[in-house]
Amino acid sequence: MKLIERDFYLDKMKNAIGTPDVKVVTGVRRSGKSKLLESFKQYVLKNVPQANVIHINFNLAQYENLKEYHALYQYISAAFVENKTNFVLIDEVQLCPRFELTINSLHAEEKYDVYITGSNAFLLSSDLATLFTGRTFEIKVFPFSFKEYLDYFGSENGYDSFDRYVKEGGMAGSYLYKDTEAKYDYIKDVFETLVVRDIRQKYRLKNPQLMDRLVDYLMDNVSNLTSVRNIADTLTVSRDAVNHRTIGQYIRYLCNAFAFYRIRRYDIHGKKYLASSDKYYLSDHSFRYAKLGTKNLDYGRVLENIVAIELLRRGYEVYAGILYKKEIDFVAIKRNEKMYIQVSDNVSDPATFDREVSPLLQIKDAYPKLIVARTRHEEYLYEGVRVIDVADWLRQL
């Protein structure tokens, strides 16, 4: 498989060298965590003087005997070299039961720079504080962005490439398949493994059929405002009664495993968060096509999903805004930075453009306001609102 340098994530790992934290690479299955760790290893060997790299990949049979935490610790201790910078890189660390005991011991000895990856359902952001006694630094890896998609295929025409990216998504493993059905079979298998094997195994689900129905519902309603109780009521109509507490629990499992991301609502005028309903977005929009098919595609929802994940990838806190009963697709916040974004498939129709721009014009603060759409031409300003093609916006960093 062709490899590209994922500098966005690699730079975060480089900047963390020498810090006392345990560096933890997280993200949805098959998003490139293992390849990133290998790239980091090559960087260290080339650029860090006197580096000693202890690399264990539990996907490989040669490390089978280390899937016991005492054996893992003894192997690493034996590989330690005095007067060198000792890096410990462990891939799929969850395959060693009670691995956290080894990691905590290594951290306490203050002799190693530790980096680990693990299956998304077994090494969760919510679990890190519980698993490790010291500080952790999390590097969140997402599927390929559009910019990375362009780098992979070496494409110059952003607009045509974006049309393909909308259909193919960011799961790079699927790029090896020439046939469209084969691509979607691969993507579907990745998602089914995530839900069926990882989540069911970790949480021992009592009602796996309900999880399947919930996944289909969330995929079909990507970008729609919805509540746990409404989902439970909707699923109850077609089948047996569904407990809304179970639905809430299953949604947490899906979000913990990076299958979906929850976006809360934010009242722009009142400057407060709202708890009545949320939006959910897939970690990669191609999962929706692979699971539900490509008939009756709603490109507006897909574009919104792509923009939501890109904002998260860039490190923003993302909210669904509301202002005087009008919806703002995204309020993106990063420290002192804030911007308001509307997403649309096509704003060439005057009525559609007015519907998208009018809520932005009612916002009185000076933060940037954008309409991101498939315009296929250069960006322009409309009464202070930037109107930019989605492909051009995605390529900007």
Amino acid making up residue 385 = V
Q: What's the alpha-carbon Rg for the chain, to the nearest Å?
A: 22
Query: b or e along 351-384 (b: 16 or more beta carbons within 10 Å of the residue's beta carbon)?
Result: eebeebbebbeebeeeeebbbbbbbbeeeeeeee
**pLDDT-based confidence at residue 295 (cuts at 50, 70, 90):** low
Instruction: Mean pLDDT check: name the lowest of 179-183, 185-189, 274-278.
Output: 274-278
- Is residue 328 predicted with pLDDT exceeding 80? yes
d(CA 309, CA 380): 24
Asked whether the predicted pLDDT for residue 133 surpasses 80, the reply is: no
The answer for residues whose C-beta is within 8 angstroms of residue 55's C-beta and 6 or more apart is 41, 89, 90, 91
Work out the average pLDDT over 363-374: 94
pLDDT over 70 (residue 121): no
Long-range contacts of 266-274, Cβ-Cβ distance < 8 Å, separation of 24 or more: 266/319, 266/320, 266/321, 266/322, 266/331, 267/321, 267/322, 267/323, 268/321, 268/322, 268/323, 268/328, 268/331, 268/340, 268/363, 269/323, 269/324, 273/319, 274/322
Question: Among the listed ranges 25-34, 136-145, 300-309, which one has the minimum average pLDDT value?
Answer: 25-34
d(CA 212, CA 141): 25
pLDDT per position as a tens digit, 95-118: 899 999 999 999 999 999 999 997
| Cα-Cα end-to-end distance for the chain | 26
Highest mean pLDDT among 31-40, 76-85, 220-229, 231-240: 76-85
pLDDT on residue 237: 75
State the average pLDDT over residues 136-145.
93
Asked whether 147 and 21 are in contact (CB, 8 A), the reply is no
Judged against a pLDDT cut of 90, whether residue 36 lies above it is answered with yes
Does this model's pTM top 0.85? My answer is: yes
CATH hierarchy code of domain 7-141 = 3.40.50.300
136 pLDDT above the threshold of 90? no
Q: Label the pairing between strands 260-267 and 22-27.
A: unpaired
- pLDDT mean across residues, the chain: 90
For position 395, what pLDDT does the model report?
93
pLDDT at 56: 97
Q: Is 268 exposed, middle or buried (0-12, 13-18, 19+ CB in 10 A)?
A: buried
The full set of domain ranges for the chain reads 7-141, 146-395
For residues 215 and 195, give the distance between their C-alpha atoms in angstroms, rounded to a whole number: 9
